[in-house]
A and B are shown apart, each in its own frame.
Chain A
Amino acid sequence: MVERLLDSTTLGRRAKSALALTCLLALAACSAREVVVEGSFPTPVVDPVPVSVGVLFTKEFREHELVDDATGRGEASWRVSTGVAQVDFWSTLLPAFFQNVVFIESYEDLNTYDVDAVLIPEVTDVQYAIPLYTNVKVYEIWMRYQLSLVEPDQLKDDENQAITTENAQPFVQWPLTAYGKTPTAFLQSDTDAVNQAAVMALRDAGANFITSFGRVPGVLEWVANPEEAQ
């Protein structure tokens, strides 16, 4: 369209190209930044906790994204999709952390697998900061999770033969925070830097989960006696 507008002017060919490029750059600066977080996540080196756990990734968790619409001139809207990376990351971490892990995807799974508890991770908050807003030469991402351990029976909606989390009463529930940053000097673009900061935040979430799990009130009692502690 920009080219078509320029065709109607009397500028030279080079000038037209330069003007077109300038217009496109200006438009790109105002457009929304979209990041689908991608990264590779290592398997943790841990001695597995001797329990059998079902893991339920809710639809909200699988499709989690941060949307921040621009409010001022010169700002850009951001859409950071973390859902796929969240599932990828926790699917790598949890099977190594617990002795036995199954992923609960249906009502039938709840009946089929005999697990000590079902772990439900939720992303309750994600915030980001970029150098434009902070004047610090780092891109930052904060994530806050709510983790719940629930008895499998509480997730059964027998009437509809479905999984429900509505009436579930977790016997252990705790918050988990994570932080990731990337210095501006390391990367080529805003979106690369935010992606890298999000990957670092996920890795930090795993580090925090592994090192703090044993200190969560009620967890040690449950691990010592998974049948009765609930």
Chain B
Amino acid sequence: MRVTALLVVATTLLGGCVTANVDEMTFDAPVAGMGEGSIVILGRRHAPDYDTEPDFIDCIGGHVSRGDAGISVIPERQFIDSLYPWFEPRTAPLSIESVDRLMTVPSVANKLGELDLQYMIWIDGRTEDTNSSGSMTCGVGPTGAGCFGFGTWGTESEYEATIWNFGEGSEVGRMSAQTSGQSYMPAVVVPIPIIAPVQDTACESLGNQLLQYLSAES
């Protein structure tokens, strides 16, 4: 019992070892908050070797919604499906100027008008495991199973958010978050994963920056 409690405390303490760097360059922040209208947060998916994770986009959207109930965040999948095929990896606009061309398609312009979109925020980046070391041996015998050893690995996140003011047709800011952390897995009979919340920290960092920009409450 005492050992279990000790492990839980150790897990909680060691699980928070993440470093984060945030950077921001924004213009024309809405002083009184963004008011009426909605925003959409979209992941970039045109790189050959990675996609920005949908759950990371959901995480940022949730963070912004929880931070200011007045900001209406359109879920990414719903937005992409409702405007198919104009936000697929092949067709997604890479600059705000491309959106102007998209608005020349009447049905697309109508749909975007219905959504009352104020800001479109693009997130580009990923989280990946880097170095790993250690070894662990697991065995199964007639009396039971167990593992012994120690493993550790690093995780890095790097994301950049680009904010487009949809009403004005201009790019109004870029924000970035780089986080990294080391996870550990000691095993004495039972492996105990001590996971560094690298992606969660990146989500929180980027979400906070977006909230500061968009919300009058921050």
Chain A interface (Cβ < 8 Å from any Cβ of B)? 11-12, 14-15, 18, 42-47, 136-138, 181-183, 185-186, 200, 203-204, 206-208, 210-211
Option from B107, B127, B142 in Cβ contact (under 8 Å) with A46: B107
Option from B111, B140, B145 in Cβ contact (under 8 Å) with A45: B111
Contacts of A186 in B (CB 8 A): 51, 53-54
How long is the Cα–Cα vector from A14 to B51 in the complex, in angstroms?
A: 43
Report the interface size for chain B: residues with CB under 8 A from the other chain: 28
Tell me if B50 is interfacial: C-beta within 8 Å of chain A: yes
Tell me if B113 is interfacial: C-beta within 8 Å of chain A: no
Interface window among B1-9, B26-34, B77-85: B77-85
Closest chain A CB from B51 CB (angstroms):
5
Closest chain B CB from A140 CB (angstroms):
9
User: Is A207 touching B142 in the complex (CB atoms < 8 A)?
Assistant: no
Tally inter-chain residue pairs, CB-CB below 8 A: 67
30 CB < 8 A contacts A-B: A11-B142, A14-B143, A42-B82, A45-B82, A45-B84, A45-B86, A47-B105, A47-B106, A136-B49, A137-B49, A137-B50, A138-B49, A138-B51, A183-B51, A183-B53, A185-B127, A185-B128, A186-B51, A203-B84, A203-B88, A204-B88, A204-B90, A206-B84, A206-B85, A207-B84, A207-B85, A207-B90, A208-B90, A211-B90, A211-B91
Chain B interface (Cβ < 8 Å from any Cβ of A)? 49-51, 53-54, 81-86, 88-91, 105-108, 111, 127-128, 140-145
How long is the Cα–Cα vector from A145 to B54 in the complex, in angstroms?
A: 29
How long is the Cα–Cα vector from A138 to B49 in the complex, in angstroms?
A: 7
Option from A18, A46, A181, A207 in Cβ contact (under 8 Å) with B145: A18
